[in-house]
Structure 1
Amino acid sequence: MTTRTMTPATLNPQRVDSSTVVARTTPRSSLQETWVQILAMAWRALKKMRRKPEQFFDVLIQPLLFTAMFAFIFGGAISGSVSNYLPVLIPGILAQTALTVCMATGVQLREDMDKGVFDRFKSLPIARIAPLAGPMIADLIRYGIASVLTLVTGLLIGYRPGGGVLGCVGGVALTVIAGWSLAWIFAWLGTMARSAQSVQGISMMIMFPLTFLSNAFVPAETLPGWLEAFVKVNPVSHVVSAVRDLFNDGAVTAEVGWAVIGCVIVVLIFAPLAVRSYSRKM
């Protein structure tokens, strides 16, 4: 019996010209495509708000409730009458409302991440920044609604802004810008925290000192010296003072400039932090 050794056929691999090789990479979106994708995500966030009307509680109910409550409870004690207190109160309520509304940004972002929504976005041919930037743009509408409702409530109970229409428009616009810039802080917290509950707890610890340790409801001069020093460096105090100047006098003062500079600084610091932390999770 003979044993036959089988030898494999000699392989003749084809040579590939390296100059013709094209690497397969994930196509990057152009700037125009990225902007369209961001707007699509903003529209998604707005539709989500419509399906969950409870998200509008802080936008629709809170401005009405806090404006009326603070005006009629503290107006006489602080300024002698409600009418005298309204020029002080309304800009303060605007700042408080914007801060409360933007606080929800981090909570909603963390909820979406916990539900795996962003995991599904990974498989889509979209820019990585779109799912984060879209809701941030959609929130501009929430800030605008809350600011206008606060102003309208003030008008209904007797507030008459001396700055006229242009002063009111400028004050509302500054409030929206301030709310949007502060929202980047909470967006960063949303990407860093482990649960929506922890985001909400940390956000509350940030919101209360910024709001109540400011000149939003009482003049800084009436506070103790050590507290007055903190109030004067509180960025919310600069926003409140700027909105008061616009609403009551229609004047673009130095406070307006400081408020805008503060908003820019916050965005320059926390927007990259939020994007970097979000990109790591994606």
Structure 2
Amino acid sequence: MSSSLAPAASGTTWRGSTLFTQVMVLTGRSLRSVLLDPKNLLFTLLTPLMMLLLFSQVFANVANTPGFPKGVSYINFLMPATLVTTALSAAMTAGIGFVNDLRNGVLARFRALPINGGSVLAARSLADLVRSAVQLIIMIVAAVALFGFTPKGFGVAGALLLALIVGWGLGWLFLAVATWMRNPETLQMFTFLAMFPLMFGSSAYMPLEGLPGWMQFVATINPLTYAIDASRELTLQGTLSSTAFTSIGISLVIAAGGMVFAAKGFRRQ
């Protein structure tokens, strides 16, 4: 019996797993590294809540300034923006996680396996998207239960989806930068230098009318402003306007460019 099976067995060519399987397995690996580390998991969940508490108290008096939307509490003004800025912070970790894998030799071991290089990048992006979704959902629940956040209808679900799309697009940008920089310290400096102008040079914490003239110009051309304004429209008014589609379009363009440059950078490792 064994001899009759031998030719069939010897003639079988193993072509490896599918790209989908590779992405799912590698995504699971990245998520387990977070779930199996209690301290990492705790900081992942608490950091956005601490930022929400801090900013809601520090900038609370902004609600009393001229130009602030009438009848809107500051927490309702802040929370839609915090969804977007938290997604931005989560996007930064995509690049940092990739560089850490490069530094500890994980990527070198992946290269010795019959897997598609693109699956490594896609899995990193997907894992960070899942982690960001968990962060944002917990933040919304906590904001409603503890901070008095009162979204209108199901618009907050649209704002959540928009924040995830924006974070996913920016995540590919940081992944692309990571494949070319390689040094974690340099990458961290780059991400922080990129994060602060994007966050504070936008309409996240104050209406555009309350910003100095030059900052109004910066905020107007800041792509994060479009996402924040669309998030507020969805959350406070329950409406979907062209601003949301503009933000999604910008995010998709950034993601496409990031994919191209990330793939090139990964091949040169």
Fold equivalence (TM over 0.5): yes
Q: Distance in 1 between matches of 2:112 and 2:236?
A: 52
Q: Which has the larger radius of gyration?
A: 1
Which one of 174, 179, 185 corresponds to residue 162 of structure 2? 174
After TM superposition, the structure 1 = structure 2 runs for residues 1-282 of structure 1, keeping only pairs within 5 Å, are 33-56=18-41, 59-75=44-60, 77-80=61-64, 84-156=73-145, 157-162=147-152, 164-165=153-154, 167-281=155-269
Identity percentage over the alignment?
A: 29
* Partner SS state of residue 129, structure 1: helix
The CA distance in 2 between the partners of 1:105 and 1:144, in whole Å, is 14
| Cα pair distance change 1:68/1:245, threshold 3 Å | same
Q: For 1:195 and 1:28, how far apart are their aligned partners in 2? A: 35
* Count of paired positions: 251
Counterpart of 2:185 in structure 1: which amino acid? Q
Shift of 1:93: 1.2
What is the CA-CA distance between 1:51 and the residue it aligns to?
2.6
Asked if the contact 2:63–2:73 (Cα under 8 Å) also holds between the matched residues in 1, the reply is yes
TM-score, structure 2 normalization: 0.88
Q: CA deviation at 1:261?
A: 0.8
Consecutive unaligned residues in structure 2, runs of 5 or more? 1-12, 66-70
C-alpha root-mean-square deviation of aligned residues, in Å? 2.0
Shift of 1:158: 1.0
- Contact 2:179-2:266 at 8 Å conserved across structures: yes
Residue pair 1:71, 1:85 contacting (<8 A) in 2 also: yes
Partner secondary structure for residue 204 of structure 2: coil
- What residue identity is the alignment partner of 2:62? I
Q: TM-score, normalised by structure 1?
A: 0.84
1:158 is paired with a residue whose SS is: coil
Query: Aligned partners of 2:38, 2:221: CA distance in 1, in Å?
Result: 36
**Aligned-pair CA distance for 1:57:** 5.0
